[in-house]
Amino acid sequence: MDNGRGDMMSGDRVWFVTGTSSGFGRELARAVVARGGRVVATARDVEAIADLAALAPDRVRAVRLDVTDEASVRSAVAGAEETFGRIDVLVNNAAFGLLGAFEELTDEELRGAFETNLFGALAVTRAVLPGMRHRRAGRIVQMSSVNGVVPGPGGTAYVGTKFALEGISEALAAEVAHLGIRVMIVEPGPFRTDFGGRSLRWGEPMRDYATIIAPAREAFEATHGTQPGDPRRGAEAIIEAVGLDEPPLRLPLGAEAFGWLRSYLRSRVDQLDGVEALGADTAFR
């Protein structure tokens, strides 16, 4: 039974991290290695993470993983458990951004975003859970976004995947807590990663949405490379939270994220109060 700090604070713990070719995934892998932990670093292009394996060849395993391919998921998880004996911490980080007005996005693009950002994370979680359940210990870290709570125009696809991931993860947390497994949802604000660069895709622009989407796109792209968040420091915060006796269900990252979340959640309460007279009085009489 996982009794809190125990194995989770040990330098011997085993992390399985998806999407380690850049951003949070890469920084998490590097930080775990620096603390003496063991890492299964995964990416679709295993050559892109060869340098991570070189950091500590006896403690890092670079593995090819396509989270949308069930056979790839099963093989990567089985190989990790065979090599290191277990997976203590799973970090579902692999994802990409798809932005644009809803009508600008094709069904194929929408399904592709959900396949990677949502169903990919769920597939890896499903593959790792049996081992954690058997050991009655484990941490599952779901990399969401501040946009997993706060929506906005142009974000229908990305927001949809992260809202779904958050809802499923919160329900999962309640299902596995008695098994010694903790789920933590990470909600970063603007961080200096490839999300706004090579990992970002846009729908085909339509004239009727130009006044809404074009300015947002220009502002978003203009900030790429100057975001205030340092993914290295964000990774350190995640590792510290994972090691707590009771990790938080949600971990926003960055001062901006806390400000946006507070503002949005307060507006939701105000909206709730505003429609209560209309919607609450519906019982049989």
Catalytic residue numbers read: 144, 158, 162
Copy the structure tokens of residue 202: 């846009």
Copy the structure tokens of residue 230: 């340092």
Report yes or no: 49 and 115 within 8 Å, Cβ to Cβ: no
* Cβ-Cβ contacts under 8 Å for 72 (sequence gap 6 or more): 64, 65, 66
Phi, psi of 225 (to 5 degrees): 95, -10
Helix (H) / strand (E) element for 263: namely: helix 255-279
Q: What is the spatial distance between Cα 243 and Cα 259, in angstroms, rounded to a whole number?
A: 25
Report yes or no: 8 and 132 within 8 Å, Cβ to Cβ: no
